[in-house]
Amino acid sequence: MITKEQVHQWIDEASEKAKPGEMLWHIAQRAAAHGAAERERENEAALKEWLEKTEWVQTNDLPVKYLGWHRADVLKDMIAAARLQGAEEERKRAEQDLKDRIKKTAEFFGSMHGNAEDAYIEQEAAHGIGVKEQTT
């Protein structure tokens, strides 16, 4: 951020160095240089933070498959694997939840009609669970 004091300093320098018609140009050049330097500092700080927070990727504690990989590629692969694992766990939870609901429904209908096991098998078949395709 450019401060009021910096602008005053640039005006003073411009009035000493610049010709009358170049004063504004001189100030604009100083502001641009200041902005570039500030962006460079911000980029360096961001890079330093990235390197500090991902230093663990460079340790020897990772599987051999990551040997020679760029740390960003290692992180990308690990995130993709975690998402896949999370999706599989969610699918298993949803399947178990459906089986539990089917069982409760079957028990309810079975208690009304006298045969919970048949009702459970019918409910599984209706939801495509527990049914194996026959091969001929």
Structure confidence at residue 88 (pLDDT): 92
Per-position DSSP letters for 66-82, written without gaps between them: GTT--HHHHHHHHHHHH
- pLDDT(23) > 90: no
Share of the chain above pLDDT 70, in %: 82
pTM, rounded to two decimals: 0.48
| Tens-place pLDDT, residues 52-96 | 999 888 877 888 898 889 999 999 999 999 999 999 999 999 989
- Confidence grade of residue 105 (pLDDT, cut at 50, 70, 90): confident
pLDDT (mean) for 13-30: 77
Radius of gyration of the chain (CA): 34
Choice between 40 and 9, residue whose per-residue pLDDT is larger? 40
CA 99 – CA 118 distance, rounded (Å): 15
CA angle centred on 118, ends 117 and 119, rounded to 5°: 90
Average pLDDT, the chain: 81
